[in-house]
A and B are shown apart, each in its own frame.
Chain A
Amino acid sequence: MNFSLSDSSNEEEQLCRNEESLEKETSNKERDALLIERCQSGDYTAFDELITVYRGKIYAMIFNMIRNDADAWDLSQDVFIKAWKALSKFEGRSAFYTWIYRIAHNVTYDWMRKKKIEGAGEFNDEMLNEAEPGALTSPKAFDSPDQNLQRDELRDKITIAINSLSEDHREVILLKEVEGLSYQEIAESIGSSIGTVMSRLYYARKKLQETLKDNDYD
């Protein structure tokens, strides 16, 4: 197998992408800082803008954890209400999205505790949701039925594998692989150390790879 690890064109491409995302991140941070400043002076329209920017991410993050759209909708609202009330204390030491992810993490964990669905390792059929019609990366309408079927099968396998993880491991792997957060950002979001994040990530990857491998032989 040739993985061309030191391919120079690939490295350049990666470098370009990194620079682009860095620029985007910087402009997002500036935008957030301005909106937060307006919110802190009592301007609710600025907060409405913040909601519009982050609602899709917060909703997806919660939905990925609990796999229930109605509850994810309600909990996302709770997150923003808590955020509005706590915004006066926000000092900007961390990025706004890691701060609001932290709130989302707490709200989701509280809800799960109440619902007593700490079923680590147990698979719940209800959790096998169909494709979200509103998902930004949902299958396109012109995919063939075979392609759709394959995609559905893969999604089901992934869902089963993810649900076989504990909540802590599930959250970390989703924040890393799906949300694309750094170790530091994950640690801030969930209130843990980088060491904990890394070990959870390592275990989650290993477990997922094993589960997906087992499913391939079914």
Chain B
Amino acid sequence: MTEKEELVTRWIDGELSPDQELEFKQLEEADPDFCASFKAASEDLRESLLSGFHSEMEVPHGDFFNSQIEKRIRQSYAKESESSSLLSAAIIWIKSPFTWVAASSFCLLLVLSNKNLDQGIGSTVVSTYSPDPSVSIVSAGYNEEAGATVIKLEGLERIPDDTDFSVNHIVSYDRQGPPGFVHFYNKQDEVVYIMETDEYGLPNVF
């Protein structure tokens, strides 16, 4: 948009400042055809636009239009007051001493139950299974005295009274490989058990 065009546009739209009016007079004297044709074209356009577009139109069902607005405003206020009453109820509930007593009790219970859980970590027996149907599991659970999980079985073969369990107590081992063997020794440095391992060091199961 050139300065000349801006000046003529302002003139057509009645937006000339006093300074610009002087400028325009000079332009009009110098190039009257340009100004005239610009004005004519703009007036034609304005006329055409006004034939197809209106600055004001009758709103269909005007009274209903107004009443609907009032209704919608009232509804929105009702919704707002509903949500604000919910909010104020929540605030009252939060401020209530009973709420705080209840919340404290809940927290205490939570702490206590967590403590119990901590104590039992690693000792909870979720399920038991006996591959030998003649052997049944009587009980399984953590024993605080033993500091270990105790599983009580029934139906096992009787073990002779003279059996010395301490002989099978493994105190050291010696690995060869893998693949190879692992030798397990008791207190007396006697081999109690030999395990064959594969190339990954895992026991070979047959």
Contacts and interface: CB of A to CB of B under 8 A. Distances in A.
Interface of A: 1, 3, 5, 44, 48, 51-52, 55-57, 59-61, 63-64, 69, 73, 76-77, 80-81, 84-85, 132, 134-137, 151, 154-155, 157-159, 162, 173-174, 176-180, 182-183, 198-199, 201-202, 205, 208-209, 212
A73 B45 contact: no
Interface in B34-55: 35-36, 39-42, 45-46, 48-55
Given A5-B36, A135-B58, A183-B13, A173 B52 contact: no
| Interface of chain B, main secondary structure | helix
20 contacts: A48-B66, A55-B62, A55-B66, A60-B53, A60-B54, A64-B53, A76-B65, A137-B54, A158-B48, A158-B52, A162-B52, A162-B53, A178-B49, A179-B55, A201-B9, A202-B5, A205-B42, A208-B49, A209-B41, A209-B45
A48 B70 contact: yes
Nearest to B46: A177
A155 to B, nearest CB: 4
Contacts of B178: none
A77 B72 contact: yes
A59 B59 contact: yes
B81 interface: no
Nearest to B37: A1
Contact of A63 (B32, B46, B51, B57): B57
B53 A183 contact: no
Contacts of A77: 65, 68-69, 72
B66 A44 contact: no
A55 B35 contact: no
A183 B15 CA distance: 8
A125 to B, nearest CB: 16
Nearest to A132: B57
Nearest to A155: B52
Nearest to A58: B59
Ranked nearest first, the 7 interchain pairs of A and B with the lowest CB-CB distance are A134-B58, A158-B52, A155-B52, A60-B57, A56-B56, A3-B36, A178-B53
Given A135-B54, A137-B54, A55 B59 contact: yes
A154 B52 contact: yes
